[in-house]
Amino acid sequence: MNEENLIKIQKRAKNWLLGSFDEFTKTKVKELLENNSEELKDSFYKDLEFGTGGLRGIMGVGTNRMNKYTVGMATQGLANYLKKNFKNLKEIKVSIAHDCRNNSRFFAETVADVFSANDIKVYLFESLRPTPELSFAIRHFSCQSGVNITASHNPKEYNGFKAYWKDGGQLINPHDINVVNEARKINIEDVKFNGKKEKIFSIGKEIDEIYLEGLKKLSLSPEIIERNKDIKIVYTPIHGTGVKMIPESLKNYGFSNIFNVPEQDKIDGNFPTVISPNPENADALKMALDKAKEIDADIVMATDPDADRIGIAVKDLKNNFILLNGNQTNAILIDYLLKKWQENGKLKGKEYVINTIVSSEIIKEIAKKYFVEYYEVLTGFKFFAEMIEKNENKKTYIGGGEESYGFLAGDFVRDKDAVSAASLIAEVVAYAKDNKKTIFEYLIDIYKEYGFYKESLLNIVKKGQKGEKEISEMMGNFRENPPEKINNINVILKKDYLLREEICLKTNKIKKINLPKSNVLQFIMEDGSKISVRPSGTEPKIKFYFSVKENLKSKKDFYELQEKLDNKLLDFENYFNN
């Protein structure tokens, strides 16, 4: 970093030694200025910005950190924006929830105070709740906005501020940008921290009950559940918010044999039993898998700290537990939902499903079979919510998911929902058992019908200001110098979602992409493989999504074909990791 940039950062930091900042904060800033230039740079070189998951960052002092002041300024900016947008309303209302993380309750109460000080009515959950229940509450109370304090599956050092709009979906353009712009206008002295208690209303059990009843209406096979209600389910919330609601939803569906992992039922923002509370990672499910082997379970399920993402483990053909990825879970759920909607006579020709551009295209093939409309959206469930809102009262949303372990069935919630997903996954296990199959054999049947799609994800971490620059340079190089061949396979199509262009590399013919701008590149290969590249919106990394496909003729060919596809994926990973 050059001296001019360092001086700018020091100046930003010294502003936090003045005015309304508390003494603890000022002391910490002084320590950074005097003793830790690297931490100082990362703490102050920029402001936290809204990404695919809202405001998210490491907790600590500084403009690039989650703390009382950055949370307060974001809330004040949102409050100002709400007052401009809804100036004709007699009363503006918001709902607020939080997860299990360190400082989450404090941040949630800070948000409630700032809103109420701005004469906005606040519905604050009495204790931690899943993210999807916050989305539900916004719609239930006819709120104009909402905030959830969570950093989802990030490590314990992180926290976040997810902002929602009146439809129950996360903020999208232009609202997200406008809120950030409003926040940037604000000095710390402008933030109204002194809340009006008469404007803050505690909510809890009464919303839980209504939400759970809504989830139960998603069930499509109650008679099958009744016949198979004793399937063995192991569930872990990984110290998070699913600890109460997911077992209750499973019981509400009719399942009676639910096993927990006592050590991970303990609510703890330090996540003491795992390295990272991410259900994508095998380590996070180790204790649940040990329990499953002990009791010979039918299914293992784990959710992240705010219970919007779910990971599952199932027995394979060799009776060993394996983890399924998000694409596999989505394929199982979409296939089951469409199959049962058809069997139950619910398909009327106006139904649709949603998938993201970086997720498996097997969803498109399943939708095609059932003559159900298929939409692709950018990464992030805020775009699912936008599509559902756009089709409200015209078409019926059945379900949709993304490769990063999120799924949403039904439209009464407008964010990914691991509570409903867990209940529906258990229902699929019961359905498969009723048909003398395991859920893994159900998945193989899907592959036999639509093709064996296999995916992998490569994350390259680049931390701090230097890393941010490196990621930008990598994206620029891929954009300006797209590969003609990857591992001796021709690239036939490049999709640039920032330029909103699809370019045929053989003919140079350009086709418009009818989606919002996003910094995503895709390379389509002549063998049908798909490679997507994008910077993460919530973490310091660049992400590479690989998808390959072959035809699967029979169950006995599964492992041989899986090895072939895995080797192909590994070759792609090695190509981009060098």
Query: Which sequence positions are flagged as catalytic?
Result: 152
Residues contacting 254, CB < 8 A, separation 6+: 222, 225, 226, 229
- The 3-state DSSP class for residue 364 equals helix
Dig out the tokens for 25 from the structure: 């904060």
Residue type, 80: N
Q: What is the distance between the alpha carbons of residues 560 and 529, in angstroms, rounded to a whole number?
A: 19
Burial class (CB in 10 A: 0-12, 13-18, 19+), 392: exposed
Buried b (16+ CB within 10 A) or exposed e, 484-501: eebeebebbbbbbbeeee
238's torsion region: left (phi>0), alpha (psi -120 to 50) or beta?
A: left
Helices (H), 123-231: 131-140, 175-184, 205-216, 222-227
Residues contacting 58, CB < 8 A, separation 6+: 65, 66, 157, 158
Q: Quick one: DSSP state of residue 198?
A: G
Q: What is the distance between the alpha carbons of residues 248 and 403, in angstroms, rounded to a whole number?
A: 26
Q: What is the distance between the alpha carbons of residues 121 and 112, in angstroms, rounded to a whole number?
A: 9
> Is the omega angle on the peptide bond into residue 155 within 30 degrees of 0, that is, cis?
no
